[in-house]
């Protein structure tokens, strides 16, 4: 059963998004930075004439993406869930990005000359040149924008740089969310180890 009023947000990419959704209807949404996601959530509630106690559930982006960004989002979700007694659903950032343009392949800039994308439905990190793209495939996400010349050279189609489809909009997190659980059970999607752990491993 879909909860009534859902606050959703994703901080896995440089542009953090948040949205307030009730019964599939988007009451408001914002795009800013991970550091302001809680302020954005408060603003969304105030603009809708609602308060935190009116919330029924939370949906949060679980990555892949920036390690720090994902941690900020999960910490915010856990803090709100604990304070308000709310269940939380984790939603893949790649899935939410793909939902913005059905049929498109989501591609997130993973830094280190790699991108995060889906391969056979699973999140992976690959170099742009290693991503097999059929001519005519539509790519969305900041990774598609960053490596536009390389992808377009093999026939991919990419919407204009500033198009909203390149952001994992939180409205889709709310719409995709289904498994609402205790906040501590929501796991991040880390396709590779964070830089600090890789340095220790070396």
Whether this model's pTM surpasses 0.85: yes
Domains contained in the chain, number: 2
- CB-CB neighbours of 172 under 10 Å: 24
Of 111, 157, 105, 112, residue with least CA distance to 131: 105
- CB-CB neighbours of 31 under 10 Å: 14
Same structural domain, 119 and 67: no
Domain of 125 in residue numbering reads as: 101-164
> Average pLDDT by consecutive 10-residue portion of the chain (202 residues)?
90 97 96 96 98 97 97 97 97 98 97 96 96 96 98 98 97 96 96 58 46
The C-alpha atoms of residue 103 and residue 42 are separated, in whole angstroms, by 33
* DSSP-derived pairing of the beta strands 16-22 and 5-10: antiparallel
Same structural domain, 155 and 178: no
Q: What is the CATH number for 180? A: 3.30.420.40
Q: Is residue 196 part of a domain?
A: no
């Amino acid at each position: 059963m879909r909860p009534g009023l859902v606050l959703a947000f994703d901080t896995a990419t440089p542009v953090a998004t948040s949205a307030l959704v009730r019964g599939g209807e988007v009451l408001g949404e914002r795009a800013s930075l991970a550091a302001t996601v809680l302020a954005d959530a408060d603003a969304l509630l105030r603009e809708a004439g609602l308060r935190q106690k009116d919330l029924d559930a939370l949906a949060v982006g679980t990555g892949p993406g920036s390690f720090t960004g994902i941690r900020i989002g999960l910490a915010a979700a856990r803090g709100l869930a604990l304070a308000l007694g709310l269940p939380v659903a984790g939603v893949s950032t790649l899935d939410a990005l793909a939902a913005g343009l059905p049929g498109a392949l989501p591609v997130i800039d993973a830094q280190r000359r790699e991108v995060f994308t889906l391969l056979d439905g699973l999140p992976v990190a690959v170099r742009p040149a290693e991503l097999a793209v059929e001519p005519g495939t539509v790519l969305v996400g900041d990774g598609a924008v960053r490596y536009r010349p390389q992808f377009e050279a093999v026939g991919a189609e990419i919407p204009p740089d500033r198009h909203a489809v390149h952001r994992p909009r939180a409205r889709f997190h709310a719409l995709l969310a289904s498994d609402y659980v205790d906040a501590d059970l929501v796991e991040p999607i880390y396709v590779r180890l964070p830089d600090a752990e890789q340095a220790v491993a070396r």
